[in-house]
Homo-oligomer: A and B are copies of this chain.
């Protein structure tokens, strides 16, 4: 059928790249580590973005836009944050090009146009935003500030992968300011819930909500909450984070407010973000060796209709019937594409839409019309069935809901089967090496042990789940006492 995909068994990593490229989600670019998001991939991102944006607004947030560049002096103000991102910063040093006297038609950087202060291309926007909030906040009446930004950010990663880790990526970053620590923590948890709701109920991907160990915290945060998902190869993927920043940025940028008693205090902060990385998670969690499998609730095209005919007369009959079906589907809010292009055979189209993960395919042939039926194929289970044309729109509406649920249930069953307790180092390593997934194990709570476990096993603490049951035990590495199991995994 033209486009060959490497199988998961053969090379999981290549399978993933094949899906992204051949499924038309993205393309490599001429810029190291940066990708082009193609129209099909961007339509998927738009659907995800629109759902999230609605949820942000429904929880009282407003969008705004802050500069792409962060002057170095602001960037370095919050020291832990600066230290955390320093080694992956793209830096603008000049503001002009001039003709290169040595090479006709070429340009060179104008040495006379050096900036007095270098500008960092934002890897995250806490610094520029808190420097701005300083001018917006005087009193408790100015709080809370509940702002979100949809933006591009740049982190100069050495090893990049399409969607999962690119030098430039698209994301949203919420940055809120509060009068009390309690209110900020509530906000942090609220946004974690918003993310979990989105990933589970729209992306059909079950997540574990938890809090990061100190080693894995966002640079500059007091606490990092996260949602962790599991991929088909048994590796974990952090799907979203929500940070309680304490007063760290308020102190770094001297942002104080007077409370109801007219006492001055530093403002409390949160930040939270998800990115185009989610598309990588979506692809890795659900797809198969024939291509993408997209959840109906965010698929750019939910239904594709392919006509099967010989000659113009049959085509005209099919067109007429399909026109009515299209109208019914659209009336139900279902996004549908009628692919009657004559430059490919039906079999090629079937493979193409399978590759692209369109949830439902309808084939309409001349014989089918005589029998008043159409053939419906669902992408997730690869099952075909013949359905009466009468009532087919409602049938599809229910089928889409069923596919959404099936995808979630399947991913959840896989995830649940892959949370394995380990009570010794050997058991721990055995699970990581042979079964994969999350390992629930005791840890003595120190950063040193966490580092050592990572070094020895390449596994990290993904999170300490919220409402984690307390249970006495001993650390799998040091044997020291522990009060609860935490979730380890190898991760993306």
With CB as the reference atom, state the residue of chain B lying closest to A168: B68
Q: Are A120 and B132 in contact (CB under 8 A)?
A: no
Residue of B nearest to A153 (CB): B68
Q: Enumerate 13 A-B pairs (CB-CB under 8 Å) in ascending A order.
A: A31-B70, A31-B119, A34-B69, A42-B65, A68-B152, A68-B154, A69-B168, A72-B97, A86-B98, A91-B94, A91-B97, A97-B120, A151-B152
Q: Are B91 and A27 in contact (CB under 8 A)?
A: no
Tell me the chain A residues, 120-162 only, with Cβ under 8 Å from chain B: 120-121, 128, 131-132, 135, 141, 147, 151-152, 154, 156
Which of A46, A71, A90 counts the most B-chain CB atoms under 10 A from its CB? A90
B170 touches A29 (CB 8 A): no
Contact A67 B107 (CB under 8 A): no
Partner of A67, one of B31, B63, B105, B343: B31
A62 proximal to B (CB < 8 A): yes
A363 within 8 A of B: no
Residues of B within 8 A of A87 (CB): 96-98
Q: A34 to chain B: closest CB distance in Å? A: 4
Q: Which single member of B42, B90, B152 contacts A152 (CB below 8 Å)?
A: B152
Q: A69-B168, A135-B27, A147-B39 are in contact. Are A95 and B88 (CB under 8 A)?
A: yes
Cross-chain contact B156 with A95 (CB below 8 angstroms): yes
- Whether the pair A118, B109 counts as a contact (CB closer than 8 A) is yes
Report the minimum CB–CB distance from A114 to chain B (whole Å): 10
CB distance from A92 to the nearest CB of B (A): 5
Cβ of A410 < 8 Å from any Cβ of B? Answer: no
What's the minimum C-beta distance from A409 to chain B, rounded to whole angstroms? Answer: 32
- Per-residue contact bits, chain A 31-67, to B (CB 8 Å; 1 contact, 0 not): 1001111110111011000000000000000111111
Q: Show the binding face of A for B, using Cβ within 8 Å.
A: 27, 29-31, 34-39, 41-43, 45-46, 62-72, 74-76, 79, 82-83, 86-99, 105-107, 109, 118-121, 128, 131-132, 135, 141, 147, 151-152, 154, 156, 168, 170, 343
A35 to chain B: which residues have CB within 8 Å? 67
Alpha-carbon distance between A128 and B90 when the two chains are bound, in angstroms: 18
Q: How far is the CB of A310 from chain B (nearest CB, A)?
A: 22
A93 in complex: contacting residue of B46, B68, B109, CB < 8 Å: B109
Please tell me which one of the listed residues B62, B90, B106, B128 contacts residue A30 in the complex, with CB atoms under 8 A apart.
B128
